[in-house]
Amino acid sequence: MSAKEIITAGCYHIPVLLSETTDGLDIHEGGRYIDATFGGGGHSREILRRLNGTGHLYGFDQDADAATNVPQDAANFTFVHSNFQYLEHWMRFYGEEGVDGILADLGVSSHHFDDEHRGFSFRFDAPLDMRMNRKGGMTAADVLNTYDEAALSKIFTLYGELKNGRRLANAVTKQRGAREYRMVNDLLETARPIIGTAREKKDMAKLFQALRIEVNHEMEVLENMLCAALRVLKPGGRLSILTYHSLEDRMVKNFMRSGNIEGKVEVDFYGNRLSPLQPVGNKPIVPSEEEQQRNPRSRSAKLRVAVKV
């Protein structure tokens, strides 16, 4: 199915923890909100429904394909085709003095995995691209062809949590001496003998996830977005964030308890905590068994919510 067919077939993306993530924003009519990851617009449509024609919602997405999902009948919605790390600049541009809530549903959408031309999935032999924003930046092929072995090893081990990350990095650097990486099958040929058959699907998914995180600088832009969110939220404003792997979950968890990604909580002279955010609940919310069955993509999801103090 082509990107266009997927979009018109209406299966761009099934929203994860739809009610819970939107509940996290504690929406009130007249409020101003940001959906930092618009995608198929599932969460945005739910926010707009609860706004009931009042207030305003800004929907960010760095992938131009997402614009196809913009609701045509909502005067209180603005689509912002940009990386969410720039949300503070955009709010200044639109004259917003502070928002009541920011939602982020991190990573890529089903649309990315299902598009057979973009290289996000090992199911299709596409060019090794993996950029959410195709206007610029390095592709996955560039990463594989130019990074040294130590850098590749770090990416595979850290972002992919792959036990054999070092061996994979070594095999990639050896292989590219003979032939450049261009297509998904080039990478599969290198990785298959190392990964083996027992865990092939799981580990290939991790390898592709690792490359995607690097190509899109996902950890760096998440940190920038969290810091910007803190400046853009009004006191009492809500942050509601869905993560899908342990690295991003740790960053969000630390940030929500301390206001920094290291998770270091400052205390005043009397030992009182000085965090700018107050987490809602002690544990993340995870999808029910029923949701995980219905929407396998939701399986690794964790929802964390915090209120700006």
Binding site for ligand SAM (CB under 6 A): 13, 15, 37, 39-43, 60-63, 66, 83-84, 105, 107-109, 132, 221
Q: Which is nearer to ligand SAM, 19 or 197 (CB)?
A: 19
CA-CA distance, 181 to 270, in Å (whole number)?
58
Q: Minimum distance between the CB of residue 244 and ligand SAM, rounded to whole angstroms?
A: 8
CA-CA distance, 115 to 5, in Å (whole number)?
10
Q: Which is nearer to ligand SAM, 108 or 140 (CB)?
A: 108
Q: Which is nearer to ligand SAM, 105 or 114 (CB)?
A: 105
Q: Minimum distance between the CB of residue 38 and ligand SAM, rounded to whole angstroms?
A: 6
Q: Minimum distance between the CB of residue 133 and ligand SAM, rounded to whole angstroms?
A: 8
Find where tokens 């006191």 sit.
235
Q: Which is nearer to ligand SAM, 181 or 208 (CB)?
A: 208
Q: Minimum distance between the CB of residue 243 and ligand SAM, rounded to whole angstroms?
A: 10
Q: Minimum distance between the CB of residue 39 and ligand SAM, rounded to whole angstroms?
A: 3
Q: Minimum distance between the CB of residue 37 and ligand SAM, rounded to whole angstroms?
A: 3
- Largest pairwise CA distance in the chain: 64
Q: Which is nearer to ligand SAM, 50 or 153 (CB)?
A: 50
Q: Which is nearer to ligand SAM, 85 or 275 (CB)?
A: 85
Q: Which is nearer to ligand SAM, 17 or 204 (CB)?
A: 17
Rg (CA), the chain: 20
Q: Minimum distance between the CB of residue 179 and ligand SAM, rounded to whole angstroms?
A: 31
Q: Minimum distance between the CB of residue 238 and ligand SAM, rounded to whole angstroms?
A: 16
Q: Which is nearer to ligand SAM, 31 or 41 (CB)?
A: 41
Paired tokens of 207? 């390898």
Burial (0-12, 13-18, 19+ Cβ within 10 Å), 169:
buried
Beta bridge mates, 127: 183
CA-CA distance, 262 to 116, in Å (whole number)?
38
